[in-house]
């Protein structure tokens, strides 16, 4: 009996061992053949710490290699929640919420995650970095990164744009050339022990490739001169908005571009979206009398008129297609040149009527209205220019004086700068070249001729007429002592609810100087200035202030040199 009980106990134990062996063998086979990849990956993740190495974003410089956008070293705060006890997490929440001015709730949520790594605060100021380091919080660490910095804050904001927290471009040149500026991240693989402590043993390393840098056509000093003059006039004019573009008419290089309202590149998150619109290329308006240069150029190029030809301007009232066209001041007989000096709507319409709609349209297209300039900026629009097949009976009295046509300030400055450049239209551009961290050239951009819009002889004749506009006509406030200046004013009624407003206007002025050897071509546009709304009163003085100071800076005097 005793032997039988022992035999049963032995069989029971043996059976238990056999079942256990089979169970663990099955478990081992399951792990080996079905879960091996998952467990190996888990072990790899626990033993290896992959650290992404952020590249340094390329800088943006002006034409004199003065920095407009750079990267500065900063630190970011991270945590390893898996290594932290509840008490350590509570201490971190309490101290970091006070040090970094962060609500406890988001910190608590991040520290509750079952992860080895979470960001708590990105790219904090250096003074806060020291405070976090001195707090010596368990499970909390600092990683060195870089942050985009804009030394001049507001200067050239609509050109430069900005980059986000991850150093990726979000606006302006920062976005358009992001693939060059961003660079490529690297990585470092560091071994860790079972307690997730780094062993300072580097298993693998690929260095980051820093981004390339942009060198612009912009001149920081001319940009400052432009924005200073614009700020002063913008406040005085009570306008809704304003734009100024300064261009080298011989090369197409943009030397300065500014819009108002503007925004702070350092604190772009707090700016209104409408303040970030680059009005120079993204918004259109009816140009008004500036557009009369197209009719003047076409009439002289086609030999339909001479400067001395007399045109009767109907004493201020003229019927066109059942609509009465008016001049601001009534005129009788004016010479061809005087029509543009005095900005006569009636005289310009009569010139256009004699040349015909097809000829006028051909030259408007030659000046590239209704098409993009191709400048290296995001958001450029076409503007509108109707073909003669879509004209109404009154269009022949509207388009030549800058109505029923829309254009951006960039289109206007390029078209009119071709007059200063002996009839040659140059493609506008902002980036001179791209270079690497060793100052090796990656890509360069050269001046590019687009078209010969009118002959050099016709361009010279138009220059004389435009000089008369400044000397004797509607743009006397653009005069610069001791220097010959050429230009054209524009005062255009705004279209409100499908009708031309009687008291809301665009005031503009285009000009270039010195006339004999133009170095600068400038357009100035104000949106709804009050109470003065004439281009010659509001916009021309801004041109004068910018060009006078910019040419002093460039050490240019009449006659060159």
Which positions are catalytic? 289
Residue with tokens 């406040």: 235
Residue 141: name the closest of 87, 198, 208, 194 by CA: 198
Q: How far apart are CA 518 and CA 556, in angstroms?
A: 10
Stretch (H or E) spanning 37: helix 36-47
What sections of 435-523 are H helices per DSSP?
A: 456-471
CA dihedral 188, 194, 199, 205 (to 10 degrees): -10
Nearest CA to 531 out of 504, 502, 491 is that of 504
CA–CA distance, 458 with 449 (Å, rounded to integer):
18
Q: Look up residue 138 and give its DSSP letter.
A: T
φ and ψ of 371, to 5 deg: -145, 155
Are 469 and 489 spatial neighbours (Cβ–Cβ below 8 Å)? yes
Helical packing angle, 456-471 and 409-420, nearest 10°: 110
- Rounded to whole angstroms, the maximal C-alpha distance in the chain is 144
Residue appearing with tokens 């006339």: 515
The tokens for 3 are 């032997």
User: 507: which strand partners?
Assistant: 491, 526
Pick the closest to residue 93 from 138, 59, 56, 49 (CA basis). 138
Q: Using CA atoms, how far apart are residues 548 and 551, in angstroms rounded to an integer?
A: 6
Matching residue, tokens 């995650």: 113
End-to-end CA distance of the chain: 128
- How far apart are the C-alpha atoms of 444 and 544, rounded to whole Å? 33
Cis peptide bond upstream of 261, omega within 30:
yes
Q: Measuring CA to CA, which residue among 91, 94, 100 is closest to residue 128?
A: 100
3-class DSSP state of 508: strand
Number of other CB atoms surrounding residue 4 within 10 Å: 8
Helices H, strands E: what count in the chain? 18, 23
- A 10 A CB-CB count for 331 gives 19
């Amino acid at each position: 009996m005793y032997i039988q009980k022992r035999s049963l106990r032995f069989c029971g134990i043996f059976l238990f061992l056999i079942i256990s062996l089979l169970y663990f063998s099955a478990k081992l086979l399951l792990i080996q053949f079905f879960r091996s990849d998952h467990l190996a990956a888990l072990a790899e993740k626990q033993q290896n710490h992959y650290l992404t190495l952020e590249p340094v974003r390329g800088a943006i410089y002006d034409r004199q290699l003065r920095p407009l956008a750079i990267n500065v070293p900063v630190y970011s705060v991270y945590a390893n929640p898996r290594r932290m006890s509840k008490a350590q997490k509570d201490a971190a929440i309490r101290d970091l919420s006070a040090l970094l001015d962060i609500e406890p709730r988001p910190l608590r949520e991040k520290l509750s995650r079952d992860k080895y790594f979470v960001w708590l605060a990105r790219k904090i100021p250096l003074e806060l970095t020291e405070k976090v380091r001195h707090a010596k919080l368990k499970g909390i660490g600092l990683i060195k990164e870089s942050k985009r910095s804009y030394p001049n804050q507001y200067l050239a904001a609509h050109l430069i744009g900005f980059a986000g927290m991850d150093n990726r471009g979000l606006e302006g040149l920062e976005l358009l050339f992001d693939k060059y500026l961003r660079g490529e991240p690297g990585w470092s693989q560091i071994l860790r022990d079972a307690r997730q402590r780094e062993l300072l043993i580097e298993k693998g390393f690929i260095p980051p490739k820093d981004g390339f840098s942009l060198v612009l056509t912009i001149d920081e000093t001319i940009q400052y001169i432009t924005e200073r003059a614009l700020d002063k006039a913008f406040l005085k004019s009570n306008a809704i908005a304003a734009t100024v573009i300064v261009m080298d008419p011989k090369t197409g290089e943009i030397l300065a571009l500014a819009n108002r309202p503007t925004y702070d590149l350092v604190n772009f998150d707090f700016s209104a979206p409408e303040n970030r619109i680059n009005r120079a290329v993204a918004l259109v308006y009816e140009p008004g009398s500036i557009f009369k240069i197209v009719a003047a150029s076409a009439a002289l190029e086609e030999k339909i008129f001479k400067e001395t030809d007399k045109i009767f301007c109907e004493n201020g009232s003229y019927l066109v297609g059942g609509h009465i066209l008016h001049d601001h001041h009534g005129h009788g007989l004016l010479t061809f040149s005087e029509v543009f000096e005095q900005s006569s709507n009636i005289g310009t319409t009569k010139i256009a009527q004699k040349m015909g709609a097809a000829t006028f349209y051909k030259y408007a297209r030659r000046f590239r209205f209704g098409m993009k300039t191709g400048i290296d900026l995001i958001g450029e629009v076409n503007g509108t220019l109707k073909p003669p097949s879509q004209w109404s009976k009154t269009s022949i009295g509207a388009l030549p004086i800058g109505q029923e046509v829309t254009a951006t300030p960039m289109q206007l400055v390029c078209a009119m700068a071709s007059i200063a450049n002996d009839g040659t239209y140059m493609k506008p551009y902002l980036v001179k070249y791209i270079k690497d961290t060793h100052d090796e050239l990656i890509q360069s951009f050269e001046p590019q001729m687009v078209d010969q819009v009118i002959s050099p002889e016709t361009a010279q004749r138009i220059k004389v007429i435009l000089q008369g506009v400044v000397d004797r006509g509607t743009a006397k406030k653009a005069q610069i002592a001791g220097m010959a200046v050429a230009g054209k004013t524009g005062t255009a009624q705004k279209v409100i609810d499908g009708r031309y407003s009687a008291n809301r206007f665009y005031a503009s002025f285009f000009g270039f100087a010195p006339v004999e050897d133009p170095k600068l071509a400038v357009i100035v546009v104000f949106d709804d200035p009050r109470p003065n709304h004439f281009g010659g009163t509001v916009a021309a003085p801004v041109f004068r202030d910018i060009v006078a100071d910019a040419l002093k800076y460039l050490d240019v005097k009449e006659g060159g040199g």
